[in-house]
Amino acid sequence: MGVPFVDLKAQYHSIKAEVDAALIATMESCAFTLGPEVAALEKEFAPYAGTTFAAGVNNGTNALYLPLLAAGIGPGDEVITVPFTFIASASAIAYTGATPVFVDIDPVTFTMDPAAIEAAITPRTKAIVPVHLFGQMADMAPIMAIAKKHNLFVLEDAAQAHGAEYNGKRAGAFGDATGFSFYPGKNLGAAGEGGMTVTPHAEINRKVRMLRDWGAEKKYHHEIIGYNMRLEGIQGAVLRVKLKYIEKWTEMRREAAARYKSMFEGTGVVTPVALDNRRHVYHIYAIRTNDRARWIDELNKKGIQTGIHYPFPLHTLKAFDFLGYKQGQFPHSEKAAAEVLSLPMFPELTSVQQEEVVAAVAALQKDALQTA
């Protein structure tokens, strides 16, 4: 039968009438850049993320880049993050002229290891960017304590964590600012590109809003050199429709993850760990195998689509050669990058589809155990 990795068409058809009406209304209004739909989305999304202010931008990368600029981070500064993430987490830092400084991950959650942070802090350290990976939040209590101790700006990378929680508080409710992505495949995805910076600080919000719109609060009154990084009205309209359903879809993801866990019981397959004090929203369902290439090939032959998030830790990429890191410096990140395999995960994933995935993966695991 075959199973897709994601199925955006199924989601669209479940809310087609509402999305189509929102698109037509935006076309009729001709409010294509920012406008009332984006403003309304900002007012609705900030409380969803457990904070006060929100500013829509054109993608998730700039949702990270602009608050760093707003915080005054630039050349000569250092910002701590992890190497096991999508490149945007570190690129946003590099764009400011600051230097990304990597620390390793916790091998269980794939998120920043708080115990590694203080050794990486220098007099030039200005911020920490914990990445909430695959839908599970980083260990924010010790991270925030370290940041407070050293007076560091905290920017949450929540590109994969819409609605995720840590000790009952949402992604977005901890840091000085948080960047969300609305890339189509995300848990809350636009009809194209989009992002949102949220913050509890009025001044960070003001500066981000200026930076996204040519450095002006009022048209032609440019106070700083800014950018054209505004969220489109059409994306605001679509995202407002989808925001009404995100909790339903999140619970569908969590139910699918629970089914996977039950189905894989006793097979020996290494499945994701969701810690008790966190609400995992399963943007990605990543298992582990030391025979990934063969597994991908065999699953592909059966029509089962998979992904790798992510095959190369950032410190090993040519783009970051200038940082001077070497292979072996971040062993947990390197091991995760060599082993993770993302299985199909989306709200509409059926138990029948999962049975097909699990049967194929379990057979590969059984073969691996027999030949070990």
- Whether residues 251 and 239 fall in one domain: no
In this structure, the answer to whether residues 156 and 225 fall within a common structural domain is yes
Q: Do 235 and 289 lie in a common domain?
A: no
pLDDT band, residue 370 (cuts 50/70/90): confident
Residue 270, Cα to own-chain centre: how many angstroms? Answer: 22
Mean pLDDT in residue range 10-29: 97
pLDDT tens, 351-362?
A: 999 999 999 999
- Among 209, 226, 243, residue at a domain's last position: 243
Residue 251: pLDDT above 80?
yes
Query: What pLDDT was estimated at residue 57?
Result: 98
Banded pLDDT at 372 (limits 50, 70, 90): low
**Polymer length in residues for the chain:** 372
Higher pLDDT, 119 or 368: 119
Whole-angstrom distance, CA of residue 226 vs CA of residue 29:
27
Specify the CATH number for the domain of residue 219: 3.40.640.10
| 3 inside domain | no
13 and 141 co-located in one domain = yes
Q: How distant is the alpha carbon of residue 84 from its chain centre?
A: 12
Mean pLDDT, residues 69-80 taken together: 98
Domain boundary among 202, 228, 243: 243
Taking residues 18-43, report their average pLDDT. Answer: 96
- 84 and 230 in a single domain? The answer is yes
* pLDDT tens digits, 95-120: 999 999 999 999 999 999 999 999 99
Looking at residue 369, its pLDDT comes to 76
Tens-digit pLDDT profile for residues 299-342: 999 999 999 999 999 999 999 999 999 999 999 999 999 999 99
Q: Classify residue 93: in a domain, yes or no.
A: yes
Number of Cα atoms under 13 Å in the Cβ half of residue 330: 31
Q: What local confidence, expressed as pLDDT, does residue 71 receive?
A: 98
Q: Is 286 part of any domain?
A: yes
Q: What is the mean pLDDT of the chain?
A: 97
Q: How far apart are CA 238 and CA 38, in angstroms?
A: 10
- pLDDT single digits (tens) 137-181: 999 999 999 999 999 999 999 999 999 999 999 999 999 999 999
Q: Are residues 314 and 355 in the same domain?
A: yes
In the chain, the number of structural domains is 2
Do both 118 and 267 map to the same domain? no
Query: Is residue 327 in some structural domain?
Result: yes
Does residue 217 have a pLDDT over 70?
yes
204 shares its domain with 316: no
Query: Are residues 78 and 144 located together in one domain of the fold?
Result: yes
Domain for residue 189, yes or no? Answer: yes
CATH number at residue 255: 3.90.1150.10
Residue 1 included in any domain = no
**Per-residue pLDDT at 36 exceeds 80:** yes
Average pLDDT over residues 203-218: 97
Q: Which two tokens stand for residue 109?
A: 């959650």
Q: What is the pLDDT of residue 368?
A: 78
Task: Tell which of 243, 275, 298 closes a domain.
Answer: 243
- What domain range is 61 assigned to? 8-102+110-243
Mean pLDDT of all residues in 275-295: 97
Q: Do 122 and 197 share a structural domain? A: yes
7: confidence class by pLDDT, cuts 50, 70, 90: very high
Whether the predicted pLDDT of 345 surpasses 80: yes
Domain membership of residue 2 (yes or no) is no
Average pLDDT for 207-216: 97
Please tell me whether residues 45 and 160 are part of one structural domain.
yes
| Same domain as 186, residue 74 | yes
